[in-house]
């Protein structure tokens, strides 16, 4: 039952996110922020597919324990693409609110993203092992969480200052995604049921993508 429900959920998620991304790229009508948002959605879906597709295969066949390497590789790739996702979201913020300059802020985004990717590349993560260390899961997520916090603050302040109705909940979608993700990183190996929090986390990302899509439909028509 878990295999069927989870596989269907993941399939719907991947198809929806990638499709919305493509629609935004094609329908942005030269508005750079929405074209960028579309690529961001495609990166999100394509990156997650590297982990979710092997997981679906594992659940529907011989079990997760027989797919350690492809699952680990998928998580590795997804960790990098999620970092790219937040860098792109930062540039969506710059485009939407016509931000100029702010070199120090951009440098901070790149430093945090770069540090996250470097930590993800370290062999101590043991991505392809069934016994990946929790400590490195925490290390690589520290700069990721700081990057997320930075983007949360930026969207909260700018949406409030500009009375941006369309993007007023963007900050909350990111808060929710991290709120559901962090317990999984910390305790899912000890309490497997906590892994179920990945479902509302995924829903939060779908909400993020839909915010951009509905804003494009209103503003480009």
Q: CATH topology for 2-219?
A: Rhopdopsin 7-helix transmembrane proteins (1.20.1070)
Average pLDDT over residues 14-40: 95
pLDDT(30) > 90: no
> Global pTM?
0.94
Among the listed residues 186, 197, 78, the one whose alpha carbon sits nearest the alpha carbon of residue 127: 78
Average pLDDT over residues 180-199: 86
**Cα separation of the two ends of the chain:** 43
Treating both helix axes as pointing N-terminal to C-terminal, what angle do 32-60 and 2-27 enclose, rounded to 10 degrees?
A: 160
Exposure of 146 in the CB half-sphere (CA atoms within 13 A): 15
pLDDT(189) > 90: no
pLDDT tens-digit series, residues 47-96? 999 999 998 888 888 887 888 999 999 999 999 999 999 999 999 999 99
pLDDT of residue 192: 78
pLDDT(210) > 80: yes
Contact status, residue 180 vs residue 200, Cβ threshold 8 Å: yes
pLDDT(6) > 90: no
% of residues, the chain, pLDDT over 90: 79
pLDDT of residue 75: 94
Among the listed residues 108, 43, 54, 31, the one whose alpha carbon sits nearest the alpha carbon of residue 79: 43
Average pLDDT over residues 195-220: 93
Among the listed residues 2, 18, 35, 50, the one whose alpha carbon sits nearest the alpha carbon of residue 216: 35
> Of 27-36, 126-135, 148-157, 190-199, which one has max mean pLDDT?
148-157
């Amino acid at each position: 039952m878990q295999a069927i429900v989870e596989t269907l959920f993941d399939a719907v998620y991947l198809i929806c996110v990638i499709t919305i991304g493509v629609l935004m790229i094609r329908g942005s009508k030269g508005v750079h922020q929405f074209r960028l948002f579309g690529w961001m959605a495609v990166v999100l879906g394509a990156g997650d597919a590297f982990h979710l597709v092997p997981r679906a295969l594992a659940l529907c066949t011989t079990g997760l324990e027989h797919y350690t390497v492809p699952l680990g590789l998928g998580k590795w790739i997804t960790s990098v693409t999620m970092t790219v996702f937040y860098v792109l979201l930062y540039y969506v913020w710059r485009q939407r609110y016509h931000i100029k300059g702010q070199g120090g802020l951009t440098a901070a985004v790149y430093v945090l993203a770069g540090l996250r990717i470097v930590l993800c590349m370290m062999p101590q993560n043991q991505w392809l092992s069934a016994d990946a260390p929790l400590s490195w899961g925490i290390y690589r997520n520290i700069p990721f969480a700081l990057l997320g916090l930075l983007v949360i603050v930026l969207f909260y302040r700018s949406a409030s200052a500009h009375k941006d109705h369309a993007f007023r909940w963007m900050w909350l979608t990111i808060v929710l995604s991290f709120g559901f993700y962090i317990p999984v990183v910390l305790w899912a190996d000890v309490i497997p049921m906590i892994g179920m929090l990945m479902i509302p986390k995924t829903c939060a990302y779908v909400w993020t993508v839909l915010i951009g899509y509905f804003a494009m439909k209103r503003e480009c028509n």
